[in-house]
Structure 1
Amino acid sequence: MNKINKWHSHLNLKSCGVSALIISLSSLFAVSQANAHGFVSSPKSRVIQCKENGIENPTHPACIAAKAAGNGGLYTPQEVAVGGVRDNHEFFIPDGRLCSANRANLFGMDLARTDWPATNVSAGPLQFVWTNTAAHKTMYFRYYITREGYNHAQPLRWSDLELIYDSGKEPAEATSLHTVPMPPRTGRHIVYSIWQRDWELDAAEGFYQCIDVNYGGSSNSSAASSTPSSVPSSSVGSVASSSLASSVSNNTCAGLGIWNPTIAYQNPTQIQHNGRRYQANYWTQGNNPATNNGQYNFWLDLGACVGGVTSSSSSVASVAPSSSSVSSQAASSSSVATGNCSSPAYVNGATYTTGALVQNGGSEYSCTVAGWCTVGGPYAPGTGWAWQNAWSLVRSCQ
């Protein structure tokens, strides 16, 4: 009997040990899930703004109202997520629940108000930062913004949004940086960002963040500059003209490095390759720009390298950024005014200041965002697929 009792006791201890191991592993998985995923830390998303204002005792009116409506999810702002969504966001998240991702403990984030804490911005490139508490392989990061005239008295709907940036596939990263071209807007708007995990290599989960922004507010550290430092110095700057005898270059690839497959590039770095100019859409290494370019590919094709060194006797339109509304490009023989317009012809990749007037394709355009006007290519006035983010149509020159 004693031997049998000892055997049973030994078996029970083993069973307890196995149970304890299972409980420990379950706890470990629970902790890893609780710490998982990410949020937009700059400009600060709505959930981060209210979390930092105080979850239990907020002082901001919008965050106080959010607490009353449900804000318990602010304890885990990295979990504003929907599992298994697999790119079908509108099916899983109904209109009016975009900021909460339809999670009841975050319904307070969906309140239609005009006083959410907001970041002051302006049109032009603006860097967004996803802080990822758990890195995942990514199918895409997408950024949307509410359309001009959006009614903040109504809950946010999918039809209120306009897509402005898609990163394409990205590797698993602790921090994901995206330079997003902020379109012209006035007043308060909502930027809506989606992080879709790679359902082919990872999981089909999606993460969602609402970021409140204010166009025309006083500038701060989060505001986008009209000539951002993130745009390479080789493509932003004034044309130097010390004397009439000097020579200037309007080569659109002047100063750009040659693509090297061993170097890692990030947006918005520009390079030249086989006589063409390219800009990195996001982090890339070893991906040949000639065969990996497109709106959602590794590289953006900004066009052929054109122009060369010309004598300043052919005229220089402007030599300083402060010059009224004239571009600081070197005008070549192709810059002769045509039709009813006296402004110079547009030169792809030349430097332009906000307010600069140019002709292109028989019409006159005014530069609204210097950083993007200077990039050219997809922002070429009237012809690039994103030209309206950089220029405004003034009139026909015919």
Structure 2
Amino acid sequence: MRRKISAAIIGLGVACVSVLATGSASSHGYTDSPTSRQAFCADGTVEDCGEIQWEPQSVEGPKGFPSHGPSDGTICAGGNSRFAELDDPRGGDWPATQVSAGQSYTFRWRLTARHATTDFRYYLTNGTYDPTRPLTRADLDLQPFLTVPYGGRVPDATVTHQGTLPSGRTGKQLIVAVWTIADTGNAFYACSDVQF
């Protein structure tokens, strides 16, 4: 009788671990090159960030951006109201990474939990972008300037992508990086302020 109970407990434990390992909660990540808003909050560079300071890897929202996904004004938080501080433009005062138009750049993600991946995509704001207002799709070039397909593979814990920043940009702009998960309905979002 004792063996049957032990076997049942072990079986239940394995089933629970399997369920936890396949859900969307098992995949998390954020960009730190260029430094994302959530990374600045996590390292204390920016204060009054709310919960994101402890969970920079958790900006998860619906996938399918830009035709689907988070609504306008909630893009940087992935549509997740827990992290609404990321959508606050702070008067345009978010720290920005210095870049140059047409520059070759290495983009980097830190993945605290890896997952089967469709792709990574990078979008840049356009000439109408106002860094003092919440981000909308009208502020973005809706064609990504860099797409890295993954075909369902699981990426490493640190992922780098080499790309070229679009030419013709000046002033403060915003890069929206999207990590699309292959086997859930979600993606991870990271907004990085940059100064051309």
Q: Give 1:99's aligned residue.
A: 76
Gaps spanning 5+ residues in structure 1: where? Answer: 1-6, 54-58, 216-398
Shift of 1:23: 5.3
SS of alignment partner, residue 95 of structure 1: coil
Q: Give 2:57's aligned residue.
A: 78
Q: Does 1:147 align with 2:126?
A: yes
Q: Give 1:119's aligned residue.
A: 97
Aligned residue type for 2:190? Q
Contact 1:44 1:119 in 2 (8 A): yes
Q: Give 2:165's aligned residue.
A: 182
Q: Give 1:26's aligned residue.
A: 16
Contact 1:34 1:76 in 2 (8 A): no
Structure number with greater Rg is 1
Counterpart of 1:52 (choices 33, 43, 46) is 43
Identify the structure with the greater strand proportion.
Answer: 2
The percent of aligned pairs where both chains have the same amino acid is 29
**1:216-295 equivalences in 2 (<5 Å):** none
Contact 2:51 2:82 in 1 (8 A): yes
Question: Matches of 1:31 and 1:52 in 2, distance apart?
Answer: 28
Question: Matches of 1:45 and 1:150 in 2, distance apart?
Answer: 18
Shift of 1:31: 7.6
Question: Matches of 2:66 and 2:60 in 1, distance apart?
Answer: 11
Gaps spanning 5+ residues in structure 2: where? Answer: none
Contact 2:26 2:113 in 1 (8 A): yes
Question: Matches of 2:163 and 2:80 in 1, distance apart?
Answer: 27
Q: Does 1:108 align with 2:85?
A: yes
Question: Matches of 1:207 and 1:168 in 2, distance apart?
Answer: 15
Structure with bigger RCO (C-alpha 8 Å, 6+ apart): 2
Q: Deviations over 1:192-232 (max 9, x none)?
A: 0111123xxx44431111011112xxxxxxxxxxxxxxxxx
Q: TM-score, normalised by structure 2?
A: 0.80
Question: Matches of 2:159 and 2:97 in 1, distance apart?
Answer: 19
Q: Give 2:176's aligned residue.
A: 192
Contact 2:43 2:53 in 1 (8 A): no
Q: Deviations over 1:157-178 (max 9, x none)?
A: 0111113112234532213222
Q: Give 2:31's aligned residue.
A: 40
Q: Which moved more, 1:186-195 or 1:30-39?
A: 30-39
Question: Matches of 2:125 and 2:10 in 1, distance apart?
Answer: 51
Aligned residue type for 1:110? D
SS of alignment partner, residue 189 of structure 2: strand
Q: TM-score, normalised by structure 1?
A: 0.42
Shift of 1:179: 1.9
Q: Does 1:166 align with 2:147?
A: yes
